[in-house]
């Protein structure tokens, strides 16, 4: 059950906006400033989705507002957009600070347990601080806004799950970038199925199914399915679990070949002729893989993993679709 923290700023104006508290881990905050320097756009990334709150400033005789659109993150990033990345499960948002001029929010800074964002907007007006109780993290936002102004911003917070404190994020040693980032998160019990599509230039797409609290949760396709030769690998979790991944990427930074290893067997994807280039490995001794993240475009560009102790308590024997 989440706790709703009262918004900072003036809630007497504008329309209500609310991301809710059921979006999963917060992975990014995006903002743009108006020509006057205050905030005119906010977006919050939750896993693979982006929730946008756009507050365009009015032109003479013309103004409009746009609230609460949710879409998969695939749009090109604006050149004037500021982005603050958060890397769960080790990192989470614990507070926000900012400035208000008595009516609207002028600037915001987001603070995690590891770092601070740059000031988004401007330091004009009175300083405020919204801090969650000790042992909790921010998972959603709410407030008031209208054409040309963000009047208030509040938050939803929940206790930090002990499992997230045990999970570690391991980055593949190939170069990130050159495509769209994706992140399935690392709060699952294990991996139950792997889907891989191969093409003329290596791995075209990848997709994972996960087990969480006894249920199967389906990840999104990362890459492009078109004209791909698909192969699948089922993992008999919890008796069997994924332990490490080997792979190769080429000079164009495309992942060419992947090998998935469980505590019982091995699954190889991609033609042997693609087993060339730079080799990489995702492995953490005594741990199992419980989630994946990376970059993709028309091909898989990079792959990283979330690891948790292989003897993690709370693993469930039963599995059901939901």
Query: Would you list the domain boundaries of the chain?
Result: 3-160, 163-321
Q: How far apart are CA 215 and CA 316, in angstroms?
A: 9
pLDDT tens per residue across all 322 residues of the chain: 789 988 777 566 788 888 888 777 888 898 888 778 878 788 888 876 656 555 544 332 222 233 333 332 323 344 467 889 998 877 899 999 999 988 888 999 999 988 999 999 999 999 999 988 887 899 999 988 887 678 889 999 988 875 555 677 777 655 555 678 888 888 889 999 999 999 887 899 999 999 987 889 999 999 998 888 999 999 999 999 999 999 998 888 889 899 999 999 999 886 656 777 888 899 998 999 999 988 888 889 889 999 998 874 444 444 444 4
Phi, psi angles (nearest 5°) of residue 167:
-85, 140
The CATH H-level superfamily of 163-321 is Jacalin-like lectin domain (2.100.10.30)
Phi, psi angles (nearest 5°) of residue 165:
-75, -20
Angle at 179 between CA 177 and CA 182, to 5 degrees: 90
Sign of CA dihedral 185, 304, 44, 155: positive
Q: What is the pTM of this model?
A: 0.54
Q: How far apart are CA 210 and CA 237, in angstroms?
A: 9
* CATH topology match: 3-160 vs 163-321: yes
Fold of the domain built from segment(s) 3-160: Vitelline Membrane Outer Layer Protein I, subunit A (2.100.10)
Q: How far apart are CA 250 and CA 66, in angstroms?
A: 42
Q: Which residues contact 177 (CB under 8 A, 6 or more apart)?
A: 295, 301
Beta carbons within 10 angstroms of residue 312's beta carbon: 18
Structural tokens at position 244: 């490490």
Q: How far apart are CA 311 and CA 64, in angstroms?
A: 54
């Amino acid at each position: 059950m989440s706790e709703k923290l009262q918004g900072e700023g003036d809630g007497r104006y504008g329309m209500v906006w609310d991301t809710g508290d059921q979006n999963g881990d917060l992975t990014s905050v995006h903002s743009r400033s108006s020509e006057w320097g205050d905030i005119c756009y906010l977006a919050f990334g939750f896993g693979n989705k982006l929730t946008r709150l756009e507050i365009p400033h009015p032109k003479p005789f013309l103004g409009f507002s746009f609230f609460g659109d949710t879409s998969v993150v695939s749009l090109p990033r604006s050149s004037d957009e500021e982005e603050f990345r958060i890397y769960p499960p080790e990192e989470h948002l614990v507070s926000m600070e900012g400035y208000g001029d008595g009516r609207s929010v002028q600037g915001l800074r987001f603070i995690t347990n590891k770092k601070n964002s740059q000031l988004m907007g401007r330091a004009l007006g009175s300083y405020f601080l919204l801090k969650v109780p000790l042992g909790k993290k921010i998972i959603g936002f709410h407030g008031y806004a209208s054409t040309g102004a963000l009047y208030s911003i509040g938050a939803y917070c929940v206790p930090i799950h002990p499992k997230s404190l045990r999970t570690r994020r391991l980055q593949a040693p190939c170069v990130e970038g050159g495509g769209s980032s994706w992140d399935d998160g690392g709060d699952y019990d294990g991996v139950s199925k792997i889907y891989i599509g191969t093409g003329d230039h290596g791995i075209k797409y990848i997709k994972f199914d996960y087990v969480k609290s006894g249920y199967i949760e389906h990840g999104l396709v990362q890459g492009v399915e078109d004209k791909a030769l698909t192969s699948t690998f089922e993992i008999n979790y919890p008796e069997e679990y994924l332990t490490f991944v080997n792979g190769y990427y080429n000079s164009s930074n495309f992942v060419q070949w992947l090998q998935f290893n469980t505590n019982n067997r091995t699954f190889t994807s991609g033609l042997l002729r693609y087993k060339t280039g730079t080799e990489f490995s995702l492995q953490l001794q005594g741990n199992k893989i419980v989630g994946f993240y990376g970059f993709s475009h028309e091909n898989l560009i990079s792959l990283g993993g979330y690891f948790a102790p292989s003897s993690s308590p709370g693993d469930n024997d039963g599995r059901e679709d939901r």
